[in-house]
Structure 1
């Protein structure tokens, strides 16, 4: 799933390639992709792109005097830039193409989604905050005003475990499964530690890991072409997606805890005092 750093890089890429250019066609291909009907998707057509902005993991394309085209790429969605779009309209079918945006220059981009679970979402709205997911977002962790005191206030009464708290978009915007693993590894904390139990020193350590991990990922992604962002994300991971490999910090084996639809990865030596966490899916099978 694209998270804050990748969506930030896509925002920069699209701002460079779209701003000042006129949209001539927006073509939904997958039935499930459009989540709004007023304004209609055709309301974007004929307008120049004025700005591209990120809201958490949402990407919003604003037009001059017209509506905003907002997308959330979900777990398996992606954006593919085309220097020259194919001639003729795309054919609906079982392929990954969900929506196409064409510019007057002949350039444009496709939104695609792999797999059978179709969660990629596109909204056409007068204001990005009309999108329910954006309206519910918590603070952006890379915003100038997001300081240690604000972070500590968010966690003070938070009874959930750190892994779940970091992924909650209404608490902190933009962090998903991958970067929550990376942040907790950098902070040397168990994903199962209760957020409200952190000491002052631990809170500061987690805050530093949050900001540093995301900032470094944004810096790595900046300037990378849209088609290479997935590979760039994977190459920068220390523990996420690396179960069975040696931890780059201590050399211990990276372990995994599986859930119904996802998994987390961690280093026992760095994060849990050398104690492996119980894999609940395996534990249920053994009962």
Structure 2
């Protein structure tokens, strides 16, 4: 699944490659998928997009927001799969869930794996699902340590909440999912099941630093090596804690890495560096 670092990479590449490109064709997919969400009927996508021009693109959490000028924005994300740029039609995927063709002969495609959204929104139209609970960007100036402490306190007030829940289950933070939870927890020295209300001041500071450091490194290297960029290249970020680490020695202390299932996904952690009950 795409998370913030992959989305930042894709948004930058889309902006560099496609800003100013005139759309000559639009296909709202050729392979029906009940877990791909759209905002209009297929003919409306074509009618709106053809003749318009790609504007700027930016990362918004786990979605790319790409302007379709004038008057519209494509919101693409909440998904696994691939967003790809093609030099011509020879490399187009046989099954796809969205495609734009451009005046210069290039194509942009989206193929969703699992689920995802490809919403075309008129200016002023609400973004699907984003209004359910406000979320805070974690790569901007707004995400200070003081703001982080406020978010922790507000989240803990909802009842017993764990570190992983804060990061990835109805999280107040934008763009983090299970893919980066593991490394954030490991870098912070926190068990994914640790209760937020029991964190000390020093642990809170480590938690905040780990979020900033982990995501910054992943963005710098183009996202995880299990995901693909606009050109079909894998990212350069190799997770310290994922399924490849299970049963291997901890890179810090040598203890065998363990796996648990928790909150709808697998968690990998070091029982020594990340004790559930601190000594």
**Structure-2-length-normalised TM-score:** 0.85
Aligned residue number for residue 85 of structure 1: 89
Do structure 1's residue 51 and structure 2's residue 56 form an aligned pair?
yes
Residues 96-118 of structure 1, C-alpha deviations (whole Å, 9 max, x = no match): x211111111112211134xx4x
Match of residue 126, structure 1, among 119, 122, 129:
122
Q: Shift of the alpha carbon at 1:231?
A: 4.8
**SS at the partner of 1:181?**
helix
User: Is the Cα contact below 8 Å between 2:99 and 2:107 reproduced in 1?
Assistant: yes
Change in CA separation of 1:40 and 1:230 when aligned onto 2, cut-off 3 Å: same
User: Is the Cα contact below 8 Å between 1:44 and 1:68 reproduced in 2?
Assistant: no
Aligned residue number for residue 239 of structure 2: 237
Change in CA separation of 1:71 and 1:183 when aligned onto 2, cut-off 3 Å: same
Q: Shift of the alpha carbon at 1:155?
A: 0.7
Runs of 5+ unmatched residues, structure 1: 276-287
Q: Which has the higher helix share?
A: 1
CA distance in 1, matches of 2:241, 2:22: 43
Do structure 1's residue 266 and structure 2's residue 263 form an aligned pair?
no
Change in CA separation of 1:232 and 1:128 when aligned onto 2, cut-off 3 Å: farther
Q: Shift of the alpha carbon at 1:78?
A: 1.5
CA distance in 2, matches of 1:36, 1:227: 27
Aligned residue number for residue 99 of structure 2: 100
Considering only aligned residues, what root-mean-square deviation do their CA atoms show, in Å? 2.6
> Aligned pair count?
263
Aligned residue number for residue 284 of structure 1: none
User: Is the Cα contact below 8 Å between 1:44 and 1:63 reproduced in 2?
Assistant: yes
Change in CA separation of 1:55 and 1:28 when aligned onto 2, cut-off 3 Å: same
Match of residue 260, structure 2, among 257, 262, 267:
257
**Structure-1-length-normalised TM-score:** 0.83
Q: Shift of the alpha carbon at 1:31?
A: 3.0
**SS at the partner of 1:109?**
strand
Aligned residue number for residue 210 of structure 1: 211
CA distance in 1, matches of 2:57, 2:177: 22
Please give the residue correspondences for 1:155-166 in structure 2 after superposition, counting only pairs within 5 Å: 155-157=152-154, 158=156, 159-166=160-167
CA distance in 2, matches of 1:225, 1:37: 27
CA distance in 2, matches of 1:204, 1:188: 11
CA distance in 1, matches of 2:182, 2:260: 11
Runs of 5+ unmatched residues, structure 2: none
Q: Shift of the alpha carbon at 1:260?
A: 8.0
CA distance in 2, matches of 1:174, 1:34: 19
CA distance in 2, matches of 1:270, 1:162: 15
Aligned residue number for residue 199 of structure 2: 198
